[in-house]
A and B are shown apart, each in its own frame.
Chain A
Amino acid sequence: MQPLRIALVQMAPRLGLVEENLALHHEMLGRAREAGAGLVVFPELGLTGYLLQDLAAEVSMRRDDPRLTELAASAAGLSAVVSFVEESDDHRLFIAAALLEEGSVRFVHRKLFLPTYGLFDERRFFAAGEVVRAVDSRLGIRIGIAICEDFWHMAVPETLAMDGAQVLVNISASPGRDLAAINEVGLGTAGSWRNLMRTYAQLTTSFAIFCNRVGMDETISFWGGSEVIAPSGDALFSAPFFDEGLFLVDAELGDVRRERVALPLLRDERPELHLRELRRILAERTQMSVDDAGEPVPGVEAGPPKGASPAADASPARRSERRVR
């Protein structure tokens, strides 16, 4: 199998200046094509900048916006992940990532988890996506696309892998902070992201691509450090911190098969077990009764969850009995 050449565009979007950012996207797509790339990845909100606040509604685009169509045309012959503020028909605003292929917008992922704590305030300005799906690519692989905070929730990379993704793509606008010298790489955020991406690549035996922006919005510096991690969990490439650049990384897609044969973690996954227990946990949280399959029992209200009683000791029969009591 021909290696896939991945182009990571570690760019500094200009805040609110869509035309300038579009021009840079067109230029980078051209350069990536000349360099023989198959997949080009741009960072979160690369078309708009990150710290938009009330500007979000002024830079939003519909999925069929001619500017996106033009960008897709410019990406012909490539697969490109670009990110923008999507406005839906009912005027909700989403942080979105589009997969551009064969001259059109093939797929749009809407950011699922909107951090609204610490220095983040996303939920104030954006709606959260509802769907997590992998997508078939013209590259002959399935791709799982996620945006920044989505990967601080294990269910997202897990679900994407279960849905058949062999390549996980996380695009980010991660603000650098926590400069404590005891951190391995001098920047707390960077250390965390390195751990996450290596772990996800290894646990899902997939390629994990991290494309993080650089530059500054207001007081926040974005640290870059984009990476490609092999299905073994080893880093194939780590971009420098804070520097703009177009970085090319060759990935042997055959490594996915090799790794999954040698380390059949996905084969051994037990989604039905996970689902059953999640249903039980959800039911306990909402104080609904469930049967042994984890299905809610209509019309029966359970007592408060018995947090202190160790569930593992109770047989399924006794547990459900207790719950319908």
Chain B
Amino acid sequence: MSRVPGAEDFPGNGTGPLFELPPELAIDAGIARRVTVDFIRNQLRQAGFERTLLGLSGGIDSALVAFLAAEAVGPDNLLCVLMPYRTSSDSSVSDARLVVETLGCGDALVDISPMVDGYFGAAADPGAAGGEGLGAGPVRRGNLMARMRMAVLYDRSVTWGGLVAGTGNKTESLIGYTTLFGDSACAFNPIGDLYKSQVRQVAAFVGVPESIIRKAPSADLWPGQTDEAEAGFSYPELDRLLFWMVDKRRTDEELVAMGFPIAEVERVKRLVATSEFKRQVPPVAKLGPRTTGVDYLYPRRRPGSARR
């Protein structure tokens, strides 16, 4: 195999390293690219589809999946749907457009403002939720935005004739920084086992535009929001902690001995435990002789499962 690219291979335009890559999180980006591209191709083929679509936010995660999907099925078979809300930052849309232009893939713009405002209301006009909705806080609003985007994607999946590709990374999944049945809803997810730092590494490797790799990660649910400020962590540090805690099975004592603050260890452990439900399919009460997920166990892509 060829030499493994690291952060130092992507220095940017002489303005310092493109991103911080903790050494233990460095992966062979060439293999990651090969596996994820093959994965997309296989998931589609086994389900009887040639096309895929995804919500393109202007951030690095969905940009990376767009690059991988374009490589897997060709840009003609990829639809990127831009779904800004009226408070979304202008750079989100312009960065998303840059991805679409670079790849030459299909795109669609759906302004979700009327959908969200139609429920919570806007200005002083109540929406479907009634007067109470006018006072909805950012978490409720953010969750609804994510679920409206999901609804749009699944509607477009019918008109486009493709499967929805997931764009969530391992870091946000493990700490539960996702909306259930919102941004985490998808037919398959090629990057769900890559930490944010690894997403950056692969994104740089496949040529995601530098402006997207450089900018601060944000759910863009309100102006000026960034993930790291909202949650009070830095991704490289959180990724390192999760890697040693989850992948390398280190105990709390060992993590503290490695230099992680005890308060941080406890907080992240709590986040992981309390979000367990978001990572699993809902439980079914066992009653019959054979129950899906318990003792009726078939490959998702079993023979005959493709739509044609």
The chain A residues found within 8 Å of chain B, CB to CB, are 15-17, 51-55, 176, 179-183, 185-187, 215-219, 221, 241-242
Query: Dominant SS at the A interface?
Result: loop
| 30 A-B contact pairs sorted by A residue (CB < 8 Å) | A15-B299, A15-B301, A15-B302, A16-B299, A16-B303, A53-B297, A54-B298, A55-B298, A55-B299, A55-B303, A179-B32, A181-B4, A181-B6, A182-B26, A185-B1, A186-B1, A186-B4, A186-B28, A186-B30, A186-B31, A216-B38, A216-B39, A217-B299, A218-B299, A218-B300, A218-B301, A221-B35, A241-B31, A242-B34, A242-B38
Closest CB in chain B relative to A166 CB, distance in Å: 31
Q: Which of B31, B39, B296, B298 contacts A179 (CB 8 A)?
A: B31
- Residue B27 lies at the interface, judged by CB distance under 8 Å to chain A: yes
A residues near B28, Cβ cutoff 8 Å:
179, 181, 183, 186-187
Q: How far is the CA of A15 from the CA of B298 in the complex (A)?
A: 11
B residues near A241, Cβ cutoff 8 Å:
1, 31, 34
Per-residue CB contact flags for chain B residues 34-72 toward chain A (1 = under 8 Å, else 0) read 110011001000000000000000000000000000000
The chain B residues found within 8 Å of chain A, CB to CB, are 1, 4, 6, 23-24, 26-28, 30-32, 34-35, 38-39, 42, 296-303
Judging by beta carbons under 8 Å apart, are A181 and B26 in contact? Answer: yes
The residue in chain B whose Cβ has the minimal distance to the Cβ of A242 is: B34
Q: How far is the CA of A180 from the CA of B1 in the complex (A)?
A: 13
Please indicate which of the listed interface residues A17, A218, A241, A242 has the most CB atoms of chain B within 10 Å of its own CB. A218
B residues near A176, Cβ cutoff 8 Å:
31, 35
Judging by beta carbons under 8 Å apart, are A55 and B38 in contact? Answer: no
Judging by beta carbons under 8 Å apart, are A181 and B27 in contact? Answer: yes
B residues near A17, Cβ cutoff 8 Å:
303
Closest CB in chain A relative to B137 CB, distance in Å: 36
Please indicate which of the listed interface residues B28, B30, B38, B303 has the most CB atoms of chain A within 10 Å of its own CB. B303
Q: How far is the CA of A181 from the CA of B303 in the complex (A)?
A: 36
Q: How far is the CA of A312 from the CA of B39 in the complex (A)?
A: 54
Closest CB in chain B relative to A18 CB, distance in Å: 9
Closest CB in chain A relative to B176 CB, distance in Å: 21
A residues near B6, Cβ cutoff 8 Å:
181
A residues near B34, Cβ cutoff 8 Å:
241-242
Closest CB in chain A relative to B201 CB, distance in Å: 9
